[in-house]
Structure 1
Amino acid sequence: MDPERERFLQGPRCQGKSSLKLVVMGYQGAGKKTFVDGIQRNWSELKSRRTRKGDDSDDLGIRGRDVKIEVIETAVKRPFSFIQGLPSCDAYLLVYSMVCEDSFKSVTAVREQIIQQKGDSIPIIFVANKTDIAQDLDKTQRVYRDLFVSCEWEHGHYEISARNSTDINKVLQNTMRRVNKMTP
């Protein structure tokens, strides 16, 4: 096991959390509902697999604890709508469609509102959905977005296909790492 994952699984912050509240936000048609369904399905599968194997650890760093997950889905109706009173949570997952530029603009505006209202210490994960239909997109633009979100803003950024349940576990793993890192 690599040392970073070992520290993550054994860190004191991983031991205290018994619930995880996620808010999934994004533009209409970005695939939020399918993504939320995938999160819940994958979370249930991981928990049942752990129970069947009697395994104390898993890829999400919950070390045998019964962690409950709550996911709230919120649509952003316009690319630059202002959201009053963002819901409290452990992490925000901002979903955008790789094939719709307005959806990316929308979640970047939402990110600004999160930082204004909640500060910069709350984990924010960008989720680029629809890799299954975005093969022909400009690779330079994809790399630029990933570098900008990951390096400039220091947020997580993952490309997934919610429809095919591709890489949803990577989003869950990254979210747990970031939540555990921020939890006192």
Structure 2
Amino acid sequence: MSEVTDKMVEKHAGSLVNITVLDISYCLKITCKGLTYFGKNCKSLIHLKRNMPPPEWENPTQVVTFKIDDSEAMIIADTMTGLRHLQLGFGRFGDHGLDAILTKCKELTHLDIQGCWNVEMEGDLKDKCERLAVFNGPWLHDYEYEGILETDGNGADTSDQSSSSDSD
């Protein structure tokens, strides 16, 4: 993990006006404040990577859910409108944040939101994402989630218990 902080970003973002690619993945000490400094100063930015570490699974049989936090997505949408490539793996934003990015970042062609489990792709979001040249959706590809339980927050299983069988 990186030790870069908002204070460091504030101090140096003004000297990064011509930067076109920025990777602040796993920089857990950069918050919305730091993202705002980058957005306001790095006007040439076209490629942003802001992937976060996957959540720690205390119990691998439960689906991990987080409170939706659209704040980073909204800052990106409001201050980085020239982005073409954007990676936000394991972000905590939901449909509202995704819609803001897709609406305001009009030059966006590549979007990776794998692991962003708060995104439900409701309304016209799926259509908007399919118009992009490259889109990696919120659900991790290449993995089967059979056997993972959905819980009601108190640990009670709420998943569909019915199963089909091919045996006669």
TM-score exceeds 0.5 = no
Higher strand share: 1
Report the structure number with the largest CA radius of gyration. Answer: 2
